[in-house]
Amino acid sequence: MRLKGLFIITGFLCFTLLVIPIQGASAADKVITLKFANYLPAPAGQSKICEEFNAELEKRTDGRVKIRYFAGGSLLNAPAVIKGVAGGIADIGLSHIEYTSGRFPVMEAAELPLGYPTGWVANQIMNDFYNTFRPKEFEGFKVMWFHANTPSMLMTVKPVRKLEDMKGLTIRAPAILGDVIKALGGTPAPTPVMETYDAIAKNVLQGAFVGGGEAKNLRFGEVVNSITDTWRVGNSYPFYVVMNKKKYNSLPLDIKEIFDALCGEYKERFALMWNAQDFDGRAFAKAKGVEYIDLPDGEAKRWTEAVEPIIENYIERMVSKGFDESEVRGWIKYLREQTEYLTKKQLSLHISSVTGPPELRP
């Protein structure tokens, strides 16, 4: 009996020694690793905030989630991001909808020249529009948050004070921004943004239609002489940060709760970051002697009337795709009303901007 008992005890100890390492390995396997693709270069403000998001997610999940971060297009370039996330090449991706023009037709309503006054308003309105209408075109994704460049401004080699000054100017402006430049009397050129500085310096282009922060970020303040505040017609692109929906659904419930809360926080951080970049851009440009021009109300009205056909063309295009005209006009109405509401909200929050009505200026 003693010998039998000894065998039993020995067997139990051996089983325990075998099981403990296996259990330890199983716990280690529970670490969730996600791949995040971002086409923007690592030094960009947007990229830095994404890095902070990754670190904060790992911290709040006690290391149960780790993110492999691929900035600068090292995993997926801008046009490939959305397809790459859908196909699982990346789990999370950052890009904007104009890199896949026509892929997100409903969301394109939010980039029409509707007069978003500031970067903060533009960022808020992209999220509000999506959350209100939930376009089916994003059904395969978990939308983490939208963000948007500040209203596009005219950075030119010669001053633009009225519509007539646009004649003869070739301006870097792709896609719908190009439609705006054409409507204003200029000639649009879809030049890659990283080639625009040299093109202006060589007078191949006479300017660019971009957010105010690019005066510093892309150093356009070195090669232009004036910046016209065109917020009443300056488009903002809907940028997105999305996750593969199947991957999101596979996350444990407690991880999802942490993830969702963090997305809400970083949506607002992006809004403030984009808004702040205009101040950096203005300081840089003014130090280079660049003149900032505001359009008087009467002149601004001429500009808004000039771009109105772009909005009507969008409505006609969506109707031709099978959407009801009243529905599409409802999107436009919502965006205009929400712009007015958010402008008042920004004022109440005492958030200053470079662009927009005088009461929002510092």
Give the pLDDT score at 18: 44
- CA 229 vs CA 190, 293, 336: distances in Å: 21, 6, 19
Cβ 238 vs Cβ 126: under 8 Å: yes
DSSP assigned state of 358: G
pLDDT (0 to 100) of residue 193: 85
Residue 39 has what pLDDT? Answer: 94
Higher pLDDT, 85 or 12: 85
What pLDDT was estimated at residue 8?
A: 46
| Integer angstrom CA distances of residue 106 from 305, 327, 330 | 23, 11, 12
- 147 strand-pairing partners: 239
Residue range 94-147, pLDDT digits in tens: 999 999 999 999 999 999 999 999 999 999 999 999 999 999 999 999 999 999
Query: Torsions phi, psi of 355, nearest 5?
Result: -100, 175
Tell me what pLDDT residue 57 has. Answer: 98
Quick one: pLDDT at residue 346?
A: 98
- pLDDT per residue as tens digits for the range 215-251: 999 999 999 999 999 999 999 999 999 999 999 999 9
Average pLDDT over residues 257-285: 97
What does pTM read for this prediction? 0.89
Average pLDDT over residues 333-358: 97
pLDDT for residue 67 is more than 80: yes
User: Are 229 and 291 spatial neighbours (Cβ–Cβ below 8 Å)?
Assistant: no
Q: Which of 333, 310, 10 is nearest to 325 (CA)?
A: 333
Which ranges in the chain belong to alpha helices (H)? 2-29, 45-60, 81-87, 119-133, 175-183, 193-201, 214-217, 245-249, 253-287, 297-320, 325-348
313-327 residue pLDDT tens:
999 999 999 999 999
Say yes or no to pLDDT of 276 above 90: yes
Q: What is the pLDDT of residue 30?
A: 85
For residues 170 and 203, what is the distance between their CA atoms, to the nearest angstrom?
A: 9
DSSP-assigned states of every residue in 80-94: GHHHHHHHTS-SEEE
In 10 A of CB 236, how many CB atoms? Answer: 29
Structure tokens at 154: 């005219």
Q: Choose among 117, 103, 146, 135: nearest CA to 238.
A: 146
Could you report the per-residue pLDDT of 156-191, keeping only the tens digit for each?
Answer: 999 999 999 999 999 999 999 999 999 999 999 999
Q: Cα–Cα distances in Å, from 71 out to 133, 194, 266?
A: 31, 16, 18
Which token pair is 33? 């690793």
For residue 14, the model assigns a pLDDT of: 44
Q: What is the pLDDT of residues 7-48, one digit of tens each?
A: 444 444 444 444 444 443 344 458 999 999 999 999 999 999
